[in-house]
Structure formats: C-alpha cells, structure tokens
Amino acid sequence: MKIRYLVIALVVFSISSIFIGVSSIGLTDIFHLNEFQQQILLHSRLPRLISIIIAGASMAICGLIMQQLSRNKFVSPTTAGTMDSARLGILVSMLVFSAANPLFRAGSAFLFALLGTFLFMKILDKIKFKDAIFIPLVGIMFGNIIGSITMFFAYKNDMIQTITAWLQGDFSMVLSGSYELLYISIPALFIAYLYANKFTIAGMGEDFSTNLGMNHKRVVNVGLIIVAIATSVVVLTVGVIPFLGLIIPNIVSIYQGDNLRSNLPHTALLGAVFVLFCDILGRVLIYPYEIPIGLTVGVIGSGVFIYLLLRRKNYA
C-alpha cells in the first residue's frame, strides 16, 4: 500500500469527520459560518479530529515499538498491562491527591505505566516457553491482575463509576481545553523515529546488539519510556482503545516488511485512518446517538486479530 493512499484516506476521513454530527454544518457553510457553527467547529469538531489522529498514531507506534523490543508480533500496550497500569496510576493520583491537575495525573499514569511495562518485560525474560501466542496471554493475565487491583481500591473508595470512565475509549467528550495533553506524545513519537534503527537492532537480542557496540538496556528503556508516555496521555484523555497497537503494526508488516524506520510513517497513518474510520462508523450507525470508539475498535479489531491468528497458522 503506497503511503499516498493513506494520506488521501486520512484527508477524506478528516473532512468527513468535521461535517458529521448532530449540529448541522454543511460543506458549503464553511465559508459563511454563523457564530454557533464557529463554536462547534473550533471547540468540538477540530479538537476531536486532532485527538483522534494523535491517539491513533500514538497507540499504533507504541504497539510497533513493543513488538520490536519483545520480538513478539502479538505484544502491545493492551496485551502487556501498560494501559491497565496507567489506569491504576490515575486512580492512585485521585485517591492520594484528589485536587490534582491533569498534568499531575498524567505524570502518575506515566510512572505506573512505565513500571507495569518494565515488570512485564522482566516477566518476559523469565519465561522459557516463548511461544508467539503464550506471551500475550501472560500479558493479558498480568493486565487483568492490575485491573482487578484497580477495581478493588475503586470499590473500597466508592469510585467505581469514576474509574470506569477510563475503561472504554470515547471521543464524544473531547472539547477544546480537555485534549491538549495529547500533544505531549508528539515529541515522544519523533524520538521514536530517531531511535528506529536502534530499536531494530535491540529487537535482535541483547548479545547481538552488544556485539555491535550498542547499549541494549538503554535503548530498551528509551523505547519503554516512549510507550509509557504515549499510553498514559491517551488513557487519561480518551480512555482505553483496545487492539489498536496490536493489529496495525501487523497489517503494515504484511505489506511493508519488518523495517521499523520505514514502517513508522505507514503505522502512524494507518493507525490514524483506522481510528477515524471507526469513529465515523460509530457516529453514523445509530445517528444521532453515538457508539464509543472503544466498542467499534474492539469489535473490528477483534475480527482482524482472529484473522491474523488464522493467517499465522496457515503460514506457519
């Protein structure tokens, strides 16, 4: 798939996203908007579009980095406990510092996401039976344990409804002033591009990368920090988006190969296009109501994931 096709799809879906909604804004109205339409466009539609693009690209690239570092095509922030750890960090910040600002909550989510990801990688090093399917199953169990701890403390402190808000991704509440934390992930993605070749070498194993004179642990730590930063701000801003970091890098590798540097632009664009498509689908299926993005991505993503499993079996 040529990258220009992804750019064209992104432009088409972006324009469609701006003009789809309960408040009617027609394509011909763009040159003579009234005050109400201007407010809708500037404070709702455009922030939503920007957050979708950043979140989709960020989570897709996080999945690509984790799959490269773990040498497993079925590892992602969803199947490694990263998102569950970020949600635990949000709960801890709300319990300990109830009046904490969003930036402090993002820092707490980042710290817990980083610790959870490091712990998963340590568990990965201890596992001798490194089957491609077995490893993500361990990650899912690890994430469920963290999620259970989160729900236990939320129940004990009467915060079940509050923490459940971060359980499922939803862009409907994204407004101007509530999504700007997502911009933090943009420098992290730029660093990921600069470290792309090093991530590729690190994915070949510690012995191999050390023989080439590279500090393997430092490169892995940089990769995990990037994943933790992007995941924490996405979870805090829009909630959990399942399967995205799992399926998008696999789809790109099918038609593009396994060169991480050349795959990064494709992965970012396809992730943004996929989330945009799912968001538009969720807004038109039961119009004027809306299906949360976590549900639409989860349904479509689970189907794609099953296809990838069957494809792996057929080509094994």
Amino acid at 292: P
Which of these, 83, 82, 142, 89, lies nearest to 112 by C-alpha position? 89
Which of these, 268, 274, 281, 200, lies nearest to 230 by C-alpha position? 268
CATH topology of domain 54-314: ABC transporter involved in vitamin B12 uptake, BtuC (1.10.3470)
For 178-207, write each residue's pLDDT tens digit: 788 888 888 988 888 888 888 888 877 777
CA distance 252 to 294: 21
C-beta atoms surrounding 195 within 10 Å: 18
For 46-69, write each residue's pLDDT tens digit: 888 999 999 999 999 988 888 888
| Average pLDDT of the residues of the chain | 82
What confidence tier does 131 reach under pLDDT thresholds 50, 70, 90?
low
**pLDDT(136) > 80:** no
| Distance (Å) of CA 41 to CA 29, 38, 48, 99, 281 | 11, 5, 10, 31, 20
**pLDDT(79) > 70:** yes
CA distance 295 to 290: 11
Task: Tell me, rounded to whole angstroms, the distance of Cα 172 from its chain centroid.
Answer: 17
Q: Domain extents for the chain?
A: 54-314
Which of these, 59, 43, 68, 52, lies nearest to 231 by C-alpha position? 59
**pLDDT(28) > 70:** no
Three-state DSSP class for 74? coil
**pLDDT(15) > 50:** yes
User: What letter does residue 106 receive in the DSSP assignment?
Assistant: H
Residues 75-89 have a mean pLDDT of 83
Three-state DSSP class for 76? coil
Q: What is the pTM of this model?
A: 0.86
User: What letter does residue 22 receive in the DSSP assignment?
Assistant: S
User: Poorest-confidence range of 25-29, 125-129, 168-172?
Assistant: 25-29
